[in-house]
């Protein structure tokens, strides 16, 4: 199965040049401030991507409506979009799990203290093939030049020591765009916008 992975488009999704694949994954922050009209605009575009048989989306820290009024946010979602929030789905034998939570960062959405985050990571099944988080693990695609590594230490521990997915994709830290491999896991920071919110990073295409 060929996967197209994107993240942190912040309503600039129409600037993307999307490659063909079987499935597209958006790792959160489809909106700018998570307002209802932004969610509607994003979902309308995402649903229109007919080149993908499957479409998966998780929320990010900018996608406020999904935390404040989840049912209202999802009322704008078409049936051809799979939304994951601390939940999973199996597609053609491949097991996906998605979660929007992240370390506390000002007053954005889905903020959780590190000791609380551990409980979210612990419910991720051992047999997850593709893990989708908004936040990166510590020291993997998480470096911010002004403040250092911003990923979750407990997420890193769970992913590397227990879950060991084939692919772990995320975004959130725009400066961390790129691919890393540790042991048998491929880590992908798929942020399409750079730190200045310019849409310059290409979607990442990978096969599983």
Residue with tokens 């227990």: 162
Q: State the total domains in the chain.
A: 1
For position 7, which CATH number holds?
3.60.21.10
CA 141 vs. chain centroid, Å, equals 13
Query: pLDDT per position in the chain (208 positions), as tens?
Result: 999 999 999 999 999 999 999 999 999 999 999 999 999 999 999 999 999 999 999 999 999 999 999 999 999 999 999 999 999 999 999 999 999 999 998 899 999 999 999 999 999 999 999 999 999 999 999 999 888 889 999 999 999 999 999 999 999 999 999 999 999 999 999 999 999 999 999 999 999 9
- Cβ atoms of 137 and 117 within 8 Å: the answer is no
Question: What is the widest separation between alpha-carbon atoms in the chain?
Answer: 42
Q: Report strand pairing: 204-207 vs 2-6.
A: antiparallel
Tokens (6 digits) for 107: 């007053």
Question: pTM of the predicted model, to two decimals?
Answer: 0.97
Radius of gyration in angstroms for the set of CA atoms belonging to the chain, rounded to a whole number: 15
Range of the domain at 20: 2-207
The Cα–Cα gap between 104 and 26 comes to 21
């Amino acid at each position: 199965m060929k996967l197209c992975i994107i993240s942190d488009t912040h309503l600039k999704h129409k600037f993307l040049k999307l490659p063909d694949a079987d499935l597209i994954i958006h790792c959160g922050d489809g909106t700018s401030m998570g307002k209802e009209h932004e969610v509607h605009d994003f979902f309308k575009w995402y649903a229109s991507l007919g080149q993908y048989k499957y479409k998966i989306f998780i929320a990010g820290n900018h996608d406020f409506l999904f935390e404040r009024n989840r049912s209202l946010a999802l009322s704008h979602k078409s049936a051809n979009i799979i939304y994951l929030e601390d939940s999973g789905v199996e597609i053609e034998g491949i097991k996906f799990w998605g979660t929007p939570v992240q370390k506390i960062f000002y007053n954005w959405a889905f903020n959780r203290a590190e000791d609380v985050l551990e409980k979210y990571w612990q419910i991720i099944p051992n047999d997850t093939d593709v893990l989708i988080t908004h936040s990166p693990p510590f020291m993997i695609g998480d470096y911010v030049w002004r403040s250092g590594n911003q990923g979750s230490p407990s997420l890193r521990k769970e992913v590397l020591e227990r879950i060991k997915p084939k692919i772990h994709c995320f975004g959130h830290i725009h400066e961390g765009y790129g691919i890393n491999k540790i042991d048998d896991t491929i880590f992908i920071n798929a942020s399409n916008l750079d730190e200045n919110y310019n849409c310059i990073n290409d979607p990442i295409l990978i096969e599983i």
